[in-house]
Amino acid sequence: MSYPIETMRHSAAHVMAAAIQKLFPDVKFGVGPAIEHGFYYDIDIGRAVTPEDLKAIEKGMWHIVNQDAEFVREEMSLDEAVSLFEKLNQPYKVELLKDLKEKGTTRFGAEEAGDVDPANTERATVYRTGTFTDLCRGPHVSHAKEVGAWKIMKSAGAYWRGNQENPQMQRIYGVCFATQEELAAHLVMLEEAKKRDHKVLGPALDLFTFSDLVGPGLPLWTPRGTILRDTLDAYVWELRHAKGYERVEIPHITKKELYETSGHWAKFKDELFRIVTREGHEFAMKPMNCPHHTQIYARRQWSYRELPQRYANTTMCYRDEQTGELSGLSRARSFTQDDAHVFCRMSQVKEEFLKIWDVIHTFYGTFGFSLTVRVSLHDPAHPDKYLGDPARWQDAEGVLREIVKGQGTEAFEAVGEAAFYGPKLDFMAKDSLGREWQVATIQLDMNMPERFDLSCINEQGEAERIVMIHAAIMGSIERFLSIAIEHYAGAFPLWLAPEQVRLLPVADRHVEFGEALATELREKGLRVEVDASAESIPKKVRNAEHLKIPVMLVVGDKEAGGEALAVRRYGIKDQTTQSKDELVAGLLEEIRSRK
């Protein structure tokens, strides 16, 4: 019998837990869900998990698989389940059951972990795998040999229920696929991804750094890295400007009242960096820009003839992420959004969405990313997570469905992925390793204009409520660069490379010619440096290749005497010769076309 891969991965988590219990009989279990590419289980053994533990756990899993242990389902009342897990000395499971019994929910995602069924607050199911008993709603495979191809990967600390005030557990991760071939391909991809890790390549290419004195999660950008950022931002602005956007600028702090009005304070106040002035007023570092932009629109009354108003703003935001959640540029405490907001009438929404859609496809097409679209909807089962009434949400989601249908693009719907103020289209990109990332987003907001009383004067001379579109192309420049660095393995195309050309004088007597040539190339618009060191040419070439510079020009007596230039391209072994004019024309065309 074949099973969905999520079922196999969830079952592999149970096999792993059964192996852990044999090794550590007093272990306390948290949750163990299926995740993308595999599974994990949160455990408490009173200490950190070691590499030797991981090897022993994997060996124990093979023993259970070879025995082909059966998965046996049993149903019971919540009271019976509480009694069972109290006898098994599993306090975390008891806590989940008591929450479900008393409050009708387990909170903190235990439903997503597959432990309980939030729709059933009367009965509980358990699964037994050999001597291991787990609270779980299933489904599972019937026998352990059916879990597919798997491998234990790593362990990490994780707070119970994601709350740092709770005990810290050990989260053990594994990967799982239907076949051994798929597993092998995934492991090869992981090895390649390790070589491309932006946290290693970024500093090696002198793009960014972190400082203990500045603080974790606060990247510092070098001159080379700043060129990357500015080049990307200029490209996005070029595309936006052509669609009628105007630039605005805003402060980095605000009174808390702005976020109380927008609804962000109630949802995210614990994730904000907060400031109290000498006079006792409470401010916050901005974690997003949309509430500020509403106040630019609100500066005066607009006629329907003046809409849409399109504001673009590349600016840094700040969020108080927990230290254990930080990950290089992918998740930081300071990040730069290429943000834009459109204030328009409902009748203008489709046209404005399609303008942004065009920008997104042009931008990501330049990088060779293939895109799919996720229609991110609200979860009707949890209305408390969202602003506004259900009818307004249905209207907004209907508009997004019409836009996607009209584009005839590949799309899928995801319930529960909407922003708290409105549904959105999320664009998913696959990189050169086949990994999928959520990148750009377009969000339709019918709630914030209501909360800030934003309107225009319509044809009848009456105030008409407007809507708001949130649009981010890169989203976070930092996060986009973490993806781009790994996508290109640090070898950026010529138009994007911080240093496009490096001149390598053969001897000291050639440095003057090299500097003069560099000045000439810079005047043509190229980013050029000269390696005037006393190193040998092979060493200079290796240094340039280490920084993955696209073009290297070796200059010696012949070149200084007016002969063709010796040209090396990164990643190409053979050296070619070109006249200066031919070379410059070719490079400028390559940059112009963003090949």
Give the residue numbers annotated as catalytic, written as ranges: 290, 319, 337, 339, 341, 424, 470
Instruction: Enumerate the β-bridge partners of residue 457.
Output: 303, 463
DSSP, residue by residue, 465-532: E-EEEEEEEEEEHHHHHHHHHHHHTT---TTT-SS-EEEEESSGGGHHHHHHHHHHHHHTT--EEE--
Q: What are the percentages of helix, strand and coil residues in the chain, rounded to 5?
A: 40, 25, 35
Where do runs of H (alpha helix) occur along 367-476?
A: 390-407, 448-451
Distance, in Å, from the CA atom of 525 to the CA atom of 519, rounded to the nearest integer, reads 10
CA distances from 499 to 75, 264, 371, 564 (A): 65, 41, 29, 22
**C-alpha gyration radius of the chain:** 28
Secondary element (H or E) of residue 80: helix 78-87
Distance, in Å, from the CA atom of 386 to the CA atom of 457, rounded to the nearest integer, reads 28
What number of other Cβ atoms are within 10 A of residue 261's Cβ?
17
Interaxial angle between packed helices 223-241 and 349-366, expressed in degrees from 0 to 180 and rounded to the nearest 10:
140
Compute CA 589 distance to the chain's CA centroid, rounded to the nearest angstrom. Answer: 33
Query: What is the side-by-side strand order in the sheet with 565-569?
Result: 528-530, 501-505, 551-555, 565-569, 576-578
502 Cβ contact partners less than 8 Å away, ≥ 6 residues apart: 528, 529, 530, 531, 544, 549, 551, 552, 553
Interaxial angle between packed helices 91-103 and 78-87, expressed in degrees from 0 to 180 and rounded to the nearest 10:
160
Distance, in Å, from the CA atom of 504 to the CA atom of 542, rounded to the nearest integer, reads 11
CA distances from 279 to 269, 274, 282, 284, 285 (A): 21, 15, 9, 15, 17
Residue with tokens 């272990």, as numbered in its chain: 27
Q: Are 514 and 555 in contact (CB under 8 A)?
A: yes
Distance, in Å, from the CA atom of 11 to the CA atom of 134, rounded to the nearest integer, reads 11
Q: Are 482 and 205 in contact (CB under 8 A)?
A: no
Where do runs of H (alpha helix) occur along 327-380?
A: 349-366
458 Cβ contact partners less than 8 Å away, ≥ 6 residues apart: 304, 464
Distance, in Å, from the CA atom of 394 to the CA atom of 389, rounded to the nearest integer, reads 9
The SS3 assignment for 316 reads strand
